A and B are shown apart, each in its own frame.
Chain A
């Protein structure tokens, strides 16, 4: 089937089998020249989150989403956020806090955390550890034990709050 999708800000047309998952097309298929290899193939049962991407801005497990579901929609992978300041600060924080070990889960975690922090920034709230852990509820990590990724996200959240508080005309945001 032909799938018209806006992939990382660019209109793209895929030719994919009717039964393909979004994961299969993003990683291996279609005429898209750049393979989105940040999208990892893990469990393929929706449990591990290695394949997390944004569909219309919402995090989804691309291994349990039909490729056809993306027709007429917007898909964002880590590749599409490479120049995004919020994503760059998250990546730096994850490295600084030793929240990356083997790295297999990292793209999925980064997408989930990016989504959380962007929503919180828009709502003017700072996520607490519970909210961060909830956002990571779909990202299995076999290496870090989650403490360091959570600390990294908390550090970025605190920095965002400081920036917002310093912005002229804005008060301190609620937590």
Chain B
């Protein structure tokens, strides 16, 4: 059994941080606990954030979304605002995590704070320019998700609380798609690729290509993005997309393990990036302005 001295239940974000900083000894936050109970860290107390008002998904009139850190994966998978945001990229990613009972308690915050290279929500959130809101006793910070992860199982938090994730309305209209490669449906992903891009008057605007399980942290393939951004749709031949895939493959930094070799993962980054880009570019063309659809 997990040898804990105390289980503290926080009634607000402020109280959670105060309970964490109060000591004595070492504490960790607990949300769903689906990661913590598998690998219980040595510590004296936990601070439960499930009653801290961090479980809501709030949409602004402008179309921005704020997702509390303790929002469950089941809520992400089924919430209408999240279902509609960028083609439901995030809902889809959440729906693929674990199994139904795990999704009842596992949270978005736990998925990110656990900081596994294979965290399933990370590529989708990177592709949507997610911003992290972080709180400490007398300071607050917001930073792009790209800067949140510092290594496998490491983040910038250092005892601070992840309050939630904001998505800007700008990302809501992106064509977004993702693919993950696994050995079996419930295994950890070997390679994850998420793409979100906008097409304006036949030209590609912002492009995000996010990769998971192929580097110490979830990452963006920015050199590959630059190959696509600003290009005319008509210029993006299959060869050009294949090139972008090769560039993404050169940007990642996978490891060998019992699931797959680094070489295989790298090659699959190229293949999946090409395929996901091709699908995203061809996705629902009638929705675009120049398509003149109703």
From B34, B102, B186, residue with most partner A Cβ within 10 Å: B102
A9-55 contacts to B, CB under 8 A, are 17-21, 24, 45-47, 49, 52, 55
Contact B4 A45 (CB under 8 A): no
Q: Find out whether the CB atom of A71 lies under 8 angstroms from the CB atom of B9.
A: yes
Tell me the B9-53 residues at the A interface (CB within 8 Å).
9, 30, 32-34, 37-38, 40, 45-46, 48, 50-51
Judge if A172 is at the interface, Cβ distance under 8 Å.
Answer: no
B93-101, B166-174, B207-215, B230-238: which lies at the A interface?
A: B93-101
Contact of B4 among A17, A60, A134 (CB under 8 A): A17
Contacts of A69 in B (CB 8 A): 33, 48, 50, 105
Give the most central of B9, B38, B48, B105: most A CB within 10 Å.
B105
Known: A46-B98, A68-B9, A71-B9. A21 touches B37 (CB 8 A): yes
Given A112-B100, A137-B100, A138-B100, decide whether A68 and B7 contact each other with a Cβ distance below 8 A. yes
A76 on the interface (CB 8 Å rule)?
A: no
Among B30, B33, B99, the most chain A Cβ lie within 10 Å of the Cβ of B99
Residues of B within 8 A of A134 (CB): 100
Minimal beta-carbon separation of B114 from chain A (angstroms): 13
Q: How far is the CA of A11 from the CA of B40 in the complex (A)?
A: 30
What is the CA–CA distance of A19 and B41 in the complex, to the nearest angstrom? 11
> Would you give the 0/1 interface string for B86-109, flagging 1 where the beta carbon is closer than 8 Å to chain A?
000000000000111110110000
Scoring A residues 46 to 78 as 1 if CB is less than 8 Å from chain B, else 0, what string do you get? 110100100100111101111011011000000
* A138 pairs with B74, CB closer than 8 A: no
User: With an 8 A cutoff between CB atoms, is B3 at the interface?
Assistant: yes
The reply to whether A66 and B37 contact each other, CB–CB distance below 8 Å, is yes
Interface residues as binary, A73-116 with B (CB distance below 8 Å gives 1, 0 otherwise): 00000000000000000000000000000000000000010000
Whether, in the assembled complex, A1 has its beta carbon less than 8 Å from a beta carbon of chain B, the answer is yes
> A66 to B74, Cβ gap below 8 A?
no
A171 CA to B15 CA, complexed, in Å = 51
User: Are B40 and A135 in touch, CB under 8 angstroms?
Assistant: no
1/0 contact string of A116-137 vs chain B (CB within 8 Å): 0000000000000000001101
Which chain A residue lies CB-closest to B5? A18
In the complex the two chains form, is A19's CB within 8 Å of B3's CB? yes
Query: What residue of chain A has the Cβ atom nearest to residue B35's Cβ?
Result: A64
Cα A65 to Cα B104 in complex, Å, equals: 10
Query: Are the CB atoms of A66 and B33 closer together than 8 Å?
Result: yes
Shortest distance from the beta carbon of A109 to any chain B beta carbon, whole Å: 12
Residue B1 interfacial (CB < 8 Å): yes
B263 contacts chain A at the CB level, 8 A cutoff: no
* Nearest-Cβ distance from residue B216 to partner chain A, whole angstroms: 25
CA distance A112 to B54 in the complex (A): 27
In the assembled complex, the Cα of A47 lies from the Cα of B185 at a distance in Å of 13
- Whether B2 is near chain A, meaning CB under 8 Å from some CB there, is yes
Identity of the chain B residue whose Cβ is nearest the Cβ of A20 in the assembled complex: B1
Q: Is B6 positioned at the interface, with any CB of A under 8 Å from its CB?
A: yes
Q: Is the CB of B46 within 8 A of A138?
A: no
| A66-B48 in contact (CB<8A) | yes
Q: Are A19 and B38 in contact (CB under 8 A)?
A: no
Are the CB atoms of A60 and B1 closer together than 8 Å?
A: no
A89 to B7, CA, bound (A): 40
Q: Known: A46-B38, A64-B38, A68-B9. Is A17-B1 also a contact (CB below 8 A)?
A: yes
Q: Looking across the interface, which residue of chain B has its beta carbon closest to that of A45?
A: B38
> Which residues in A have their C-beta under 8 angstroms from that of B34?
46, 61, 64
B99 contacts A49, CB within 8 Å?
yes
A64-B100 in contact given A1-B7, A19-B2 (Cβ < 8 Å):
no
Q: Sorted from nearest, which 10 A-B pairs have the closest CB atoms?
A: A138-B99, A19-B2, A19-B4, A68-B7, A18-B4, A18-B7, A58-B104, A59-B101, A137-B99, A64-B37
Instruction: Provide a sorted-by-A list of 10 A–B residue pairs whose CB atoms are within 8 angstroms.
Output: A17-B1, A18-B5, A19-B40, A21-B1, A45-B38, A46-B37, A64-B102, A66-B7, A66-B46, A138-B99
